[in-house]
Structure 1
Amino acid sequence: MRNVLIVDDEVQIRKGLQWKIDWEDEGFQIAAEAGNGEEALSLIEKNRIDLVMTDVRMPRIDGIELAKECKKHYPDTKVIVLSGYSDFEYVKDSMKGGVRDYLLKPVDPEELREVLSRMKDEIDQEKRKQLELAKLKRIVRTQLQEVQEQALLSLVKEEWLQHSVVVEKLKLTRLNSFLQANVKAQFISVEIRDIKGKSQRVNELRATFQMLCKEIAESKSHLFAFYDPNYTNMMQFLLLIKADGLDSSTQIAKTIQHNVKKLLKLETVIGIGYVVKGLSEFKTGYISSLLSWSQSQLGTHSEIVDETVKKEWFANFPPELEKKITNAIEQTNMEKFELELNMFLGEKTKQSVFSFSIGANRILFSLVSVAKKYNMETKNIERLIWESQQAIWELNAHKKVVDCLVQLADMIIERVRNTRITDGKLIVEGVRRYIDQHYGSDLSLTILSELFHINSAYLSEIFKVQIGRNFSEYLVDRRMKEARKFLEDEHLKIIDVANLVGFSSSAYFSTVFKKHNGQSPIEFRRSTGIK
């Protein structure tokens, strides 16, 4: 039902207008009355008014001024003016000032019905457009969230090849705040558990829990949420530490816990990592929050584990050791992997329990990245990843952790070896998946061939055979597909869209876009209703 506000300085005229027709039969209801334009504006501010029917001549603010104010501050509210013959020309001249239609006094019931029918169609059409626009904005916002989540996950897993790529990706995904000098951050890991210990309910509410976490993060400019597939019932938060000290990690954790308990009736176990400084420490900071979480008690009660993990307990692991381990896997050299693993985590390194756990998690992350790159997310590999995590969380199972990592590495190496002796289908599938996830980065056959340890000419050949298009064609098609989605966001400039899909020049992007879509980016936007 559409809401109507009747405005006239004479009570009898207001009542008479109400009795002219059955308003509900026409799809309207009288929501309020006002004696002048000033009262009307006050009512419009407090209530949802779809249609205003107002007299022209009234004290304080007259009908024409009221229409102008509505057009300026409440553009969705339609205004119909009631006038006598003496005001007819005056009212006609005011049609550009916010008046949608007019009726001559005394109001004829049939004319009133005709005007209301037109207004109903206009109101309903505009509401449909608003709903479609809101839906589109949600889709675009979700797309940007997905891109940001992927960037965050890659950042904490250190899946990018070069620092310049990291900087470029963060800028493109509107995460520039991470690039501030000496940026300080803290990770928070949140797991949901059912009050009654029934895992089925946790499974049913997992998606809702993820949406709730994203909404909490959206409400704070310095808080970011992302999902790590390796931790099914958890969401991860990255908190940028503000200079004013407001919104501490503990306060954020309590807010999350309160909202999940109130809205979902689920318990939460939360681990808070230590404060890290700079992008290079993000990975270790993330692991520290997971280790804090792993110190929680079993059961179905809510808990926040804070300050369990002390930064001074961690050794400074050189990143080149992880690269050596990854290279050993890529080169299918199990002997080299075990040698590097022993240097990294061997008993002779004399590490603390927590330092060993951090190191083991870093290696596990590296192995998972290789498995993901080659699309090895099989049940056996997922089982070994889970067993490795469980062993690390025990904090006192050194041999068990090493054995799990060796077993996992052996299985991945075998899969990599099998991939390279096939007709190239598995390699190409891995490359295709990588392109789909990193289309906005600087990609070339040379970069991909180095990443997948394969000759670039051979990769070019088997890619075209398996996909049916060459590498450049596939990459451009993917970029254009994503560009069309981003162009539907009216808040993104053309250069922003170009950068998000891997183009440094908006002019070149526009040329390529028009070649593939038959329209320039601006023309495409206009065709979707965006100016």
Structure 2
Amino acid sequence: MRALIVDDEKHVREGIKLLADWEGNEITEIYEASNGEDAIQMIQSLNPEIIFSDMKMPKVDGTQLLKWMDEHYTGGKTIVVTGYDDYHYMRKAMHYGSSDYLLKPIDPEMLNDTLIRVVKEWNEEEKERKNKRSKNRLINKMKPAYRDQKLTQIINNDPVDKSVWEEFRLTIAEAYTIGLLQVSNIAVEQFDGDKDLTIFTLLNIINEQLNKNSNGIAFQYVTSKGEIVLLLKKNKEESVFIIKEIHTNIQQLLGLTCTIALGIEVDSATQLNLSYQHAKSIIMNRNVLRNCQEKIITENDEKEIKTLMSYASSIKIAIQTGELHAFHSLIGQIQTDLINKQQLSFRQLLHLENEYQMISARWHKEFNLPFSLPTDVEEQIYPFIDKEDVFQLEAYKERKKREIALFLRRVKRQNTRTSKNVIHEIEKYVKANFHREIKLQEISEHFYISREYISRKFKQEYQINISEYLVSIRIKKAQELLKSSNLKVYDIANMIGYQDDKYFRKVFKKIVGVSPNEFREMKIDNLK
């Protein structure tokens, strides 16, 4: 289960997070919002079961949030938390379906008693909802299942008895055009998360209109989840007109905006797969970032798919750094490279998500962390597509940042090679290579850590920057050689990494206070 805490005071949110028995109530994800406006967006994308909400907040207050939930989101239970012991607020809260009303400062026992009761209520209501949906499915399942199976076989060019063609009147048209509608997550939410009921309702609306003039038939394409195929016994021009009417009907009856793609016109029912494949390509290549008024797409806009794998080395460096901020510029760069003029195809988005999951799996395995690949990549995308069929890129990015932050926290807990140990390894590397020119970029590439991070952490650990540390090592080595050998000064300079012995003499005197020759003479005199 998921919980959302909405309050403009951070300490209140932290208090609820600290006091509530989340684990005992099987709540595994806790999210926060500082006002009702942000809360609405998070509710739409995350679908939390339990919502704690303050009443007085900036932008959208608690009353407005509760009203919105009463109209748009009935799948969650709300607990109002406020410092105002006022009947007016209590009445508003109860009017819009709040499960309880808690006063600040929060009493831990009362908070957890309320949470236990509300979670129990939600579970009971969810059980009733599931039973109801199950009964409805049993009643409506048989006839549509047969239709969907047989028409899917026809679309796939599978062998089908001639009687089936006649049953669906597919042998009497001069032209055929396939329309394709992908059922959105927003549509499913409108039916309490029941995808089968969503598709059943959409098919009823579509087929009622198609049956009026025997224009065709709509069915669920069983080969691909969540697709409704409109088999139109019309040429493409007539099909566009019919589809627009259907689109308007869906908007009026369900308040949904859906995108429908139209494939090429074919003159034989045996060529329906060609029209379907064309429609599929159109809907996959549609731009998901713009809210255009025209939701009937007839033209294909196929573009080259860009890969996330080309950022593998940058991702590696960011992970080795172990800091979330290292990913921010990387995410920004990926966005710049992949999105041109607000253009992002659904196909590119799916490819991006699939590669992201594969990369995640690889790095979780690298650090021996548990990870399971999602069975359906599209399900990772749909929660971020709004009712206007527009992809919410910023919300998607924030979700990925949270996932990356969680991964980095797990790595820090599990990985014994802390940042301090890494800096110690760098210090050893500098000592081992003091005799030659070492650049910060070389160290960065060797340890897969950014130069900025190395500089900052090294100075924190040794109170000196790397270049100064390298000089100190060289001068110490020079002092040892001056004391224990008869080597010339310029030979010693070369041995410790200085090609110019004059520069070496200058650096030596600056640090030691005397020239190399004077230092040698002083040590010889001390031995006498």
Please state which band the TM-score falls in when normalised by the shorter chain. Answer: 0.3 to 0.5
Larger-gyration structure (1/2): 2
The normalised TM-score by structure 2 is 0.33
